[in-house]
A and B are shown apart, each in its own frame.
Chain A
Amino acid sequence: MSLTNEIIQQRLTEKFGEQVSEFSTSYGMLQFEAPKEINLKVLNFLYDDAQLGFIFLTDLTGVHYPDQKGRELAVVYHLHNLKENIRLRFKVFTGVDQPDVYTATGLFSSANWMERETYDFYGINFVGHPNLKRILNVDEMDYFPLRKEFPLEDQTRIDKDDEMFGRG
């Protein structure tokens, strides 16, 4: 039988109840979030469940939302069930003060470098990662460049402020 977004949502709510939340569909792709403590449980369930079978980690990345207090950093997983050909997006949020998220390297070998990249740019500490060090930036760097507090433009310029980009 073919797998649909509704069935995935139903299976997840059966298993995790209130803990998985914020279900929505964006351009046909199901997305939801869960507390960071159970990210591995959710990934394992999606991987092992005979009906779901999300065995392919397409992408793993981070996002920074400085205005959301207590949940500033997001880790976004894109998973793919190749047999049923359906994708989903799974997010966990973490505070910027203690950005600890369990690593998915035990489940997906591909997560190794993707988590290193996310650590490199956002400073998300993947607990249990075998080799969590910077990958694209120099080792001596002492900040996390993709966080929003590091502006791209020269700070002395006044002609290119946020207003120029629709965020006044």
Chain B
Amino acid sequence: MSEHIKLPEGSIEKTTTTLNLGPTHPATHGVMQNILELDGERIVSADQTIGYIHRAFEKLAERRPLAQITTLTDRLNYCSSPLNNMGWHMTCEKLLGITTPKRVDYLRVIVMELARIADHLICNSIMGVDAGAYTGFLYVMQYRELIYEIYEEICGARLTTNMGRIGGFERNFNDIAFQKLEKFLDEYPKALKEFENMFQRNRIFMDRTMGVGGISAERALNYGFTGPNLRAAGVDYDVRVHAPYSSYQDFEFIIPVGSTGDSYDRWLVREQEMWQSLSIIRQAYQKVQAFTGAEAEVYHADVPEYYLPAKQDVYTKMEALIYHFKIIMGETDIPAGEVYHAVEGGNGELGFYLISDGGRAPYRLHFRRPCFIYYQAFEELVKGAMLSDAIITMSSLNLIAGEMDA
């Protein structure tokens, strides 16, 4: 401190600086606050504050029929809403004992992997932005646009999709959706390759990310890491393989793993997963095309109690009218039971713990939100690092405020 400020006799001069990173700082990519204690540019300690966009989804869900909860799940990880939607539908199907036709499973796989690509490409390109390379972000953004156009053909929405129903999809995929999918499969790999060339062996990017925010496999497991962040530390845990849902056992794919668990490894794992997702989409698309005759028109399971009937049936058939009314008014009793179902979300194991007491709404619904759980490791990741490393570690973790705060 300068000689102009006279401290009282005997007081101890504070040698560290307190810096408020967030809640609305552009580098946090979401509404979250970090109170960093800095010694020069080194981080001494970090204190995270979250909850700025807490919307009490778990409480809201206790007063909603199952179908109305889908819209809440949209708003968890809003970079990959369809993944959350499908995860929720599958949880309900597990509770209700519904088995879905293979074609539905494959269509779901297409949508989920598209969502994974959308999620990863944002995370990876944002990491580039935080390292000072804006161009890559602009390159891949137009391909997220293509993915959103596919969503639009399937369900009519882009960001918060509310896609699908319990038992399948609200309508069959139309030809335009498949054309757009083909266009995406055709054009995206080139752009992804270009994006990769720009970063993967880029000296500046490597220097900024290698050895930054690293974590050992043991600590990552203890901190409850899942998804790409855990795999970057070298643990090959993927829900798609460990507990296959939606017929993932029918597909051939590799689970990429890293070794050091640092930001660079996380980037590489995500990059590799995008290639794997593309391969899964191609396989699923082939399987979907292989269906012929009546099977090629199947897009939902036969569960009249939970699946909305076609509108023309509602006007002409009594049963359809009754079911329509019961579903819209939420008057269907759910069987009692406790179920936990997990899917591989964009940033880890997205779990739904649903307790039903036989009422019309869940008695208790808990979302296991991966980034809420692993964000608590942030202090350990950045302690002793530079301030600019903290920014890049944060973006490499893929923190989504909506998911963290539920």
Binding site for B on A (CB under 8 A): 26-27, 29, 31, 55-59, 61, 63-64, 76, 78, 82, 85, 87, 89, 108-110, 112-114, 117, 121, 135-138, 145-146, 150, 152-153, 160, 164-167
Contacts and interface: CB of A to CB of B under 8 A. Distances in A.
B235 A27 contact: no
Contact of A59 (B50, B95, B368): B368
Nearest to A116: B376
Contacts of B366: 59, 61
B251 interface: no
B58 A136 contact: no
Contacts of A166: 333, 358-361
A110 B224 contact: yes
A152 B361 CA distance: 13
A85 B376 contact: no
Nearest to B361: A165
Nearest to B58: A146
A137 B106 CA distance: 40
Taking each of B95, B353, B361, which has the highest tally of chain A beta carbons within 10 Å of its own beta carbon?
A: B353
Interface string B365-389: 0101000111111000000000000
Nearest to A150: B59
B114 interface: no
10 contacts: A58-B351, A59-B351, A63-B363, A89-B338, A108-B224, A117-B372, A138-B51, A152-B59, A152-B63, A164-B330
Contact of A113 (B235, B237, B243, B373): B373
A113 B237 CA distance: 22
Interface in B56-72: 56, 58-60, 62-63
A75 B189 CA distance: 47
B357 A58 contact: no
A27 B339 contact: yes
Contacts of B54: 136-137
B50 A109 contact: no
B36 to A, nearest CB: 17
Nearest to B372: A113
B349 interface: yes
Chain B at the A interface: SS class: mixed
A76 B353 contact: yes
B50 A135 contact: yes
A114 B406 CA distance: 13
A166 B356 CA distance: 11
Contacts of B333: 166
B406 A109 contact: no
Contacts of A150: 59
B373 A114 contact: yes
Nearest to B351: A59
Contact of B59 (A31, A57, A146): A146
Contacts of A26: 337-339
B289 interface: no
B360 A165 contact: yes
Nearest to B236: A82
Contacts of A165: 63, 330, 359-361
B405 interface: yes
Given A26-B338, A110-B222, A136 B406 contact: yes
Contacts of A121: 58
A85 B349 contact: no
A82 B63 contact: no
Contacts of B375: 113
A110 B375 CA distance: 9
Contacts of A89: 338, 340
A108 B223 CA distance: 7
B158 interface: no
Nearest to B63: A152
A87 B59 CA distance: 26
Interface string B31-51: 000000000000000000011
B210 interface: no
Nearest to A78: B340
Taking each of B235, B351, B366, which has the highest tally of chain A beta carbons within 10 Å of its own beta carbon?
A: B366
Contacts of B360: 164-166
B171 interface: no
Given A56-B221, A166-B359, A167-B359, A87 B62 contact: no
